[in-house]
Structure 1
Amino acid sequence: MRERVIYGTIAGVIFLAFLGLGGIFFHLLAGILAVIGVFELFRMKGLEPFTFEGILAMLGAFVLTLPLSSYLAFLPVDGSLATYTLVVFLLLMGTVFNHETYSFEDATFAIAGSFYVGIGFQNLVLARMAGFDKVLLVLFIVWATDIGAYAVGRRIGKRHLMPAVSPNKTIEGSLGGMVSALVVSLIFMLIDPSVYAPYPFFVMLLLVLFFSMSAQMGDLVESALKRHFGVKDSGRFIPGHGGVLDRFDSMIFVFPIMHFFGLF
């Protein structure tokens, strides 16, 4: 527990410092985290990341994360997606030039993995470009959901939520996490009313409940992946906390959904 607190605090301070800086510094950090996330996916599956498909998958997540059109003027507005598409084509071309050892299934895992990680971190970057408070709102929702679910589940949790995927999670804990997220978000929105524009206050509270459920689903998806591959953690990026995917699994889901609702 001591190691978990120390390294968790250090990692949190570093992340928040880069988040505060914003700009290219934060973009590069998000891109690097996306690369590590794909690296972890390959290791979880028992594949060597530094192969043709592994390197391209990590590159795909990186270019999808960065707002490339902001730095390369010749690219279209959707420069990141356009560049990512070229990486996908390269991955598919590998099935032609290396068809004996590289199959379509290999390519689809690399494409799905890079998209899953890259689109989550891309929306983290877009949220930061829209405003520091947008990212804080998601962080508060995710953290409050985790803490509330753990506290309530440990105290009164009896009915399992998804025992085949994550045996320790309970329905009571899930509801406690949603209530916790609602309370924390309500306080934050009262302090910073601009964070829930363009929605009315009470509509945004309903969205917060949905975002909290989405955060829990992101966590369950990561649990399902780890159970499928037979690993405890996605990696060892942060001692005592596991890998990048262990820390950002909920956010990978919440940021794109928040974007879908036009909050940034």
Structure 2
Amino acid sequence: MGELKNRVITGICIAPVIALLFYILPPVWLLALLLAVAVVALLEAASLAGCHMKYLIAILVIVGTVPLYFRFFQIYMLWMMASAFIVIVIKVFDRQTSSDDANRDLTGQAALVLFCNLFILVPFFYLYLLKELDGLFPLILLFSIWASDIFAYGIGKRFGKHPLAPRISPKKTVEGLLGATLGSLAVITACYQLLGTSIPVAVGIGAAMGLLGQAGDLLESACKRVFNIKDSSRLIPGHGGILDRIDSFIFTAPFLYTCLVWTRYL
């Protein structure tokens, strides 16, 4: 009960600040803020993976923002592969790693570079792209995720009887998944005019975002189970670390941006 209380108090204090920053900051300043948060998330991910080159990996990933910012997506893909190559070369010539751990370290840390790019940097950059489209779009995404989490918790707690993925997240239920879908659907549908879509399209986007948010949550839960931990860090009281809070953005931010861009041309 104490943990839930801390979670609620922290959420009440932080949520308005986050919403205000997302609304008032110009796109470039928001990107700078997102990159600062991304660095913390990258260091958390590297620490969880037992990576001894966490600062190097964080630098390699953050540098990828430059081609992304200038829309040089092919160069970004090349840089992402080059970053993994750099890590592989360093590990090949690392004499401190025992032969028993060499293969695991090499593959694990190369995979970590790709993971941090695809599941941390790219979703954060899509938040920036949403801000470029319209200052309200990141806020709508935030509210839909918060509503999804609240509905998932409330409905799952009250009606949850059927486990969703017991080996990955024992507390998640099918009923909670439906609640998450309803929460996101309600917010996106209520904002259909602000998003510039029709009601049927907004319903489809909202429902899909509820499912995608839970998929991101399950992905992060699976990663934590691999490393046998509960939270990525203790940075946020009652909420864990940055990784524990951004899991819902992994798939929803790129999805919402893509849908909004497509609807403008359909």
Q: TM-score, normalised by structure 2?
A: 0.82
Q: What letter matches 2:86 in structure 1?
A: L
Distance 1:107 1:166, change over 3 A: closer
Residue deviations 1:33-61, cap 9 Å, x none? 1111121112222334xx2xx22321233
Equivalent residue number for residue 130 of structure 1: 133
Given residue 164 of structure 2, which amino acid in structure 1 is its aligned partner? L
Shift of 1:151: 0.9
Whether the 8 Å CA contact 1:60–1:118 is kept in 2: the answer is no
- Separation in 2, partners of 1:88, 1:46: 17
CA distance in 1 between partners of 2:234 and 2:145 (Å) = 21
CA deviation after TM superposition for structure 1 residue 261, in Å: 3.2
Return structure 1 stretches of 4+ with deviation > 4 angstroms: 65-70, 75-86
Maintained 8 Å contact 1:61/1:117: no
Residue 208 of structure 1 is matched in structure 2 by 206
Q: Mapping of 1:104-183 within 5 angstroms?
A: 104-115=106-117, 116-183=119-186
State the 1:133 CA deviation.
1.9
Count of aligned pairs between the two proteins: 251
SS at structure 2 position matched to 1:213 = helix
CA distance in 2, matches of 1:68, 1:181: 28
Partner of 1:242: 240
Deviates more, 1:217-226 or 1:37-46: 37-46
**Is 2:94 aligned against 1:93?**
no
Change (3 A) 1:12 1:130: same
Mind listing any 5+ residue stretches in structure 1 that lack a counterpart?
none
Distance 2:76 2:11 in 1: 31
Q: 1:215 to 1:30 in 2, by over 3 A?
A: same
CA distance in 1, matches of 2:26, 2:76: 18
Q: Percent identity?
A: 30
**Measured at CA, do residues 13 and 180 of structure 1 come closer, stay the same or move farther in structure 2, by a change above 3 Å?**
closer
Give the root-mean-square deviation of aligned CA atoms.
2.6
Gaps of 5+ in 2: none
Distance 1:122 1:145 in 2: 22
Further displaced range: 3-12 or 38-47: 3-12
CA deviation digits over 1:69-128, x for unaligned, max 9? 45xxxx957665565454334223324543763653144233123212111111112112
Of stretches 164-173 and 3-12 in structure 1, the one that deviates more from structure 2 is 3-12
TM, length-normalised to structure 1: 0.83
